[in-house]
Amino acid sequence: DAGVTQSPTHLIKTRGQQVTLRCSPKSGHDTVSWYQQALGQGPQFIFQYYEEEERQRGNFPDRFSGHQFPNYSSELNVNALLLGDSALYLCASSTLGAGNEKLFFGSGTQLSVL
């Protein structure tokens, strides 16, 4: 039973570029949440997808967008990258439909913006 998987594991981009990160939830999970973790900080909530719709959003600009597919996998897109977007991007899955709040995290994508 695979856990939460994310790709790629590392990525280097330059300012102004766009990036797409991918996540496959744990088997049986229907909800995907994305978090940004800056070095030395706790993860910060970006947004959550359930039933292919964005259900909740944290305090992140519109440059951050996402998508959820019918198979529950998800993408995080960031446009017009800034140096400050360099961080570890974590995907977490859960079973919102079953009212389960416990999040299971992937190992993340380390994004470096130069």
Partner 1 sequence: GESVGLHLPTLSVQEGDNSIINCAYSNSASDYFIWYKQESGKGPQFIIDIRSNMDKRQGQRVTVLLNKTVKHLSLQIAATQPGDSAVYFCAENPGGSQGNLIFGKGTKLSVKP
Q: Is 60 in the site for partner 1 (CB under 8 A)?
A: no
Q: Please pick, from the candidates 1, 2, 42, 70, the single residue that binds partner 1 as defined by CB under 8 A.
A: 42
In the complex, minimum distance from the CB of residue 87 to partner 1, in angstroms, rounded to a whole number: 13
In the complex, minimum distance from the CB of residue 41 to partner 1, in angstroms, rounded to a whole number: 6
Q: Which of residues 76-95 bind partner 1 (CB under 8 A)?
A: 90, 92, 94
d(CA 58, CA 47): 6
Extract the tokens encoding 86. 């360099």
111, β-bridge pairs: 11, 87
Q: Is 24 in the site for partner 1 (CB under 8 A)?
A: no
Kindly indicate which of the ranges 11-19, 51-59, 60-68, 75-83 contains the residues binding partner 1, using the contact rule CB under 8 A.
Answer: 51-59
Q: Please pick, from the candidates 21, 24, 43, 64, the single residue that binds partner 1 as defined by CB under 8 A.
A: 43
Burial code of 70-83, b = ≥16 C-beta within 10 A, e = fewer?
eebbbbbebeebee
Extract the tokens encoding 10. 């590392």
* 8 A C-beta contact, residue 42 and residue 99: no
Indicate the helix (H) or strand (E) that contains 56.
Answer: strand 53-57
Residues engaged in binding partner 1 (CB under 8 A): 4, 31, 33, 39-45, 48, 55-56, 58, 90, 92, 94, 96, 99-108
